[in-house]
Structure formats: structure tokens, C-alpha cells
């Protein structure tokens, strides 16, 4: 059933024959007492969103977005992405006869490029197109991938010229709804969480998780977003203790424009949470701790959650039972 077990909470609701699913959601939420002992707190809950079908929590959002648009007879879509949302969009678009144009950076990390090519089922890829000045594309069936120096602006131009639907989380108001299902699962399994740490780019997942609590509990525990020293338009409202950098290991944190900034800052403030800005050394430390003490080998982006918790504890936050969202591979 995937996210559709929660269809009663969705608005708009989706009829059964339009519900696209790869059995996303229902991801494990594991305790890690060893890591909790090291940090001198009671327990840590690790929400394994990196175990979704295509490897990230984007599956929840994309499954809902495409299903609603499918129900409304839409068949042409666009997504600009650093990798995970693109991979998810490709996988779900294969479930029905639609056209998808994916815009990615020519600087896409090698591991995400491999996953992207695997999703579209391209075996022989000419890497030289990444070095060319102009935008290059490859096409397989109804799916095209455009390699661009400005994927976001190029995708918006494409949408305007071709009257397609933009699936990017900051552009599509449907995008928050699928993320609410993370909250529904947490509430059913954990009764005493006192903080949630979320790797944050556009803030779409943060808003969805926050809104999900009000669907069930009418209140939210403190929500803490974690961004990088390269990209931090929202976290820097709360955290001033960092040195800005021009690069970051956590490449999925890429939204500098932050259309949802006011909404995210308000949600954090109302929940009693915060924002934290994390550097590469802190990311590497967190990733190492997850692997050593929790037997979890996850991405730099997912590791931001733990890095944020560690920084919050150093800032003397009184957190005892946090949930860490491991957002994707």
C-alpha cells in the first residue's frame, strides 16, 4: 500500500486506480543505545528513510505528487534535482505513460550519476558531455535527462515553454503532503520523542513533517533543521557559529533561494526547535559514528542529522530522545 494507507489524511485524496506506489514508506525506526551512551542521552531513534525503494524520502513526496497529477490527466513533467528527486521521479514515472524531463547539474556527484543512469537504464554513457559548454541531453523511452550548468533556471524555462508540471518540492504545493507520512509512522511507533533533526534543502520535507503532527496530535515536538556551511539560508537564522565555505560533502543541500524560508522558520520557532549549520569535519565524524556504533553506512546528507544533534548537545540543548531523519543514500 505504500503511503496510501494514510490516504484519509491527504487533501486532495487519490482514487485507488491512480495511486502510484513502489511500496514506499513504513521505513524502520531503530534505536541506537551505543551512540546514545556516547552522547550521554537516553536513546536515539534513527528513521531509515534511506531504505525507501529508490533510496530517499523523496519517494513519499513524488509518489503523492505524481498520483494527484495523474488523476488530473497531467502527463508531462519536469524536475530539477541534485540526484535523489530525479531518481525517484524516473522510477515512479515508469509506472504510467508520462513524459519526464530531468535537469541535473553537470557537476552531479559520480555516485548519484551512476544511480541516475541505472534508473533510466542507460549502460553506455559518454562522460564527455559533462565537459561541454552548452546543455546536453540523453533520452530513453519517454524520459530525457538534461545536463546543465543552471539546471534550476533551465527547468523553469522548459516548463514555461512546454506547459509541463514542475515536480520540484519548492515549486509544487502538493510536495509537502507525502512527507507527512513520516510523521504518521513516528507517532504510531514512538511516544516520547523530544526532538527531530532533519537534513534540509528547500524545507519541503520539514514543512510536511511539521504539518503531519497537527493532523494527529495538534502539536509538534521541537524540529531542528540541519544545513551546511555552503548552503544555509534557513539554518543561519538560528545558528551564527560557523564559517562559510564554498563546498560541502552534503551535495543534496543545494537550495539557496529558499522560497519556503518564512514558512520553515515559523514552523521551527513555533515548535521550539532550531537550525544548525554543519561543516565537512562534523559530517565525517557523524558518518563514522553511525557506521561504527549503529552499523549504518549512509550518505553525507543523512549524516547531517547526527551532526546537528551533536552540535545541539554541545550548545547545551536538553535533548534526551531525539529522532534523526536519515534522508537518503
Q: How confident is the model at residue 169, as a pLDDT?
A: 82
Domains of the chain listed by start with CATH number:
2-56+173-326 (3.40.50.1100), 58-166 (3.40.50.1100)
Say what the pTM is.
0.93
Cell numbers placing 73: 490527466
Pure H helices in 98-174: 110-120, 151-162
| 1-10 pLDDT, tens digit each | 899 999 999 9
> What percent of the chain lies above the pLDDT cut of 70?
100
Better pLDDT: 218 or 76: 76
Residue 111 has pLDDT above 90, yes or no: no
| Chain centroid offset of residue 247 CA | 19
Q: CA angle, 204 as apex, 195 and 249 as ends, to 5°?
A: 80
Confidence band of 165 (pLDDT split at 50, 70, 90): very high
Taking the C-alpha atoms of residue 62 and residue 70, their distance in angstroms, rounded to an integer, is 12
| Chain centroid offset of residue 3 CA | 16
Taking the C-alpha atoms of residue 247 and residue 279, their distance in angstroms, rounded to an integer, is 9
Q: Residues in the chain, how many?
A: 329
Strand partners, 148: 105
The closest alpha carbon to 99, from 165, 20, 161, belongs to 165
Residue 256's alpha-carbon distances to 41, 221, 223, in angstroms, are 33, 26, 20
Q: CA angle, 58 as apex, 56 and 64 as ends, to 5°?
A: 140
Residue 25: burial class (beta carbons within 10 Å; 0-12, 13-18, 19+): buried
Confidence band of 75 (pLDDT split at 50, 70, 90): very high
Taking the C-alpha atoms of residue 269 and residue 325, their distance in angstroms, rounded to an integer, is 19
Cell numbers placing 107: 557537476
Residue 171 has pLDDT above 80, yes or no: no
| 206-241 pLDDT, tens digit each | 999 999 999 988 889 999 999 999 999 999 999 999
Residue 82 has pLDDT above 80, yes or no: no
In 179-302, the DSSP E strands lie at 195-199, 223-228, 274-278
Taking the C-alpha atoms of residue 180 and residue 214, their distance in angstroms, rounded to an integer, is 10
Phi first, then psi, for residue 51 (nearest 5°) are -100, 10
Amino acid at each position: 500500500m505504500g503511503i496510501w494507507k494514510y490516504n484519509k489524511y491527504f487533501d486532495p485524496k487519490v482514487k485507488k486506480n491512480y495511486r502510484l506506489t513502489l511500496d514506499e514508506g513504513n521505513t524502520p525506526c531503530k534505536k541506537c543505545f551505543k551512540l546514545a551512551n556516547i552522547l550521554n542521552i537516553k536513546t536515539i531513534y534513527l528513521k531509515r528513510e534511506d531504505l525507501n525503494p529508490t533510496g530517499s524520502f523523496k519517494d513519499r513526496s513524488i509518489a503523492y505528487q505524481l498520483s494527484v497529477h495523474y488523476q488530473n490527466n497531467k502527463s508531462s513533467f519536469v524536475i530539477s534535482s541534485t540526484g535523489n528527486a530525479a531518481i525517484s521521479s524516473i522510477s515512479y514515472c515508469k509506472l504510467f505513460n508520462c513524459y519526464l524531463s530531468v535537469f541535473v547539474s553537470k557537476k552531479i556527484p559520480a555516485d548519484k550519476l551512476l544511480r541516475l543512469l541505472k534508473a533510466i537504464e542507460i549502460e553506455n554513457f559518454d562522460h564527455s558531455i559533462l565537459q561541454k559548454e552548452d546543455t546536453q541531453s540523453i533520452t530513453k523511452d519517454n524520459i530525457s535527462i538534461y545536463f546543465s550548468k543552471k539546471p534550476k533556471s533551465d527547468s523553469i524555462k522548459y516548463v514555461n515553454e512546454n506547459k509541463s508540471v514542475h515536480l520540484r518540492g519548492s515549486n509544487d504545493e502538493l510536495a509537502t503532503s507525502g512527507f507527512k507520512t513520516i510523521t504518521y509512522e513516528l507517532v504510531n511507533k514512538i511516544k516520547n520523542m523530544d526532538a527531530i533533526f532533519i537534513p534540509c534543502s528547500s524545507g519541503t520535507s520539514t514543512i510536511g513533517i511539521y504539518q503531519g503532527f497537527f493532523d494527529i496530535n495538534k502539536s509538534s515536538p521541537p524540529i531542528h533543521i540541519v544545513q551546511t556551511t555552503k548552503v544555509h539560508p534557513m539554518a543561519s537564522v538560528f545558528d551564527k557559529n560557523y564559517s562559510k565555505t564554498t563546498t560541502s560533502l552534503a551535495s543534496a543541500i543545494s537550495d539557496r533561494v529558499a522560497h519556503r524560508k518564512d514558512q520553515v522558520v515559523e514552523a521551527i520557532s513555533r515548535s521550539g526547535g532550531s537550525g544548525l549549520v554543519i561543516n565537512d569535519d562534523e559530517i565525517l565524524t557523524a558518518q563514522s559514528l553511525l557506521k561504527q556504533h549503529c552499523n549504518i553506512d549512509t550518505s553525507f546528507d543523512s549524516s547531517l542529522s547526527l551532526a546537528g544533534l551533536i552540535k545541539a548537545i554541545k550548545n547545551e540543548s536538553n535533548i534526551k530522545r531525539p529522532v534523526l531523519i536519515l534522508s537518503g543514500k
